Amino acid sequence: MMTKTELAPGAKAGLGVLGLVQVAFAFLAFWDLSHRDAEEVRGPKAAWIPAILVNWIGPASYFLFGIRR
């Protein structure tokens, strides 16, 4: 019998997939940041490193606001 604090196997799998997507999103943001020239990035590149570490919001902010178009 499951207690209230246990997750169903499907929920555990869903959270695992969501975690992998989050890590991949951050990895892509770091990869993009490292391969761009400083002139193509808004603000100092070093400031984006801790920002990207903020779950979901950091990588999304980098892709939406950090890249000069």
Tell whether 1 is covered by a domain: no
Tell whether 61 is covered by a domain: yes
* pLDDT tens, residue by residue, 5-28: 788 999 999 999 999 999 999 999
Task: Look at residue 60 in the predicted model and tell me its pLDDT.
Answer: 97
Query: Which residues form the domain of 15?
Result: 11-66
Name the phi and psi angles at 67, rounded to 5.
Answer: -100, 130
CB 25 within 8 A of CB 51: no
Q: What is the distance between the alpha carbons of residues 60 and 19, in angstroms, rounded to a whole number?
A: 15
Tell whether 32 is covered by a domain: yes
Tell whether 41 is covered by a domain: yes
Give me the residues paired with residue 67 across strands. Answer: 41
Number of domains in the chain: 1
Structure tokens at 45: 């590149």
CB 50 within 8 A of CB 25: no
Tell whether 38 is covered by a domain: yes
Tell whether 31 is covered by a domain: yes
| Residue at 4: amino acid letter | K
Tell whether 5 is covered by a domain: no
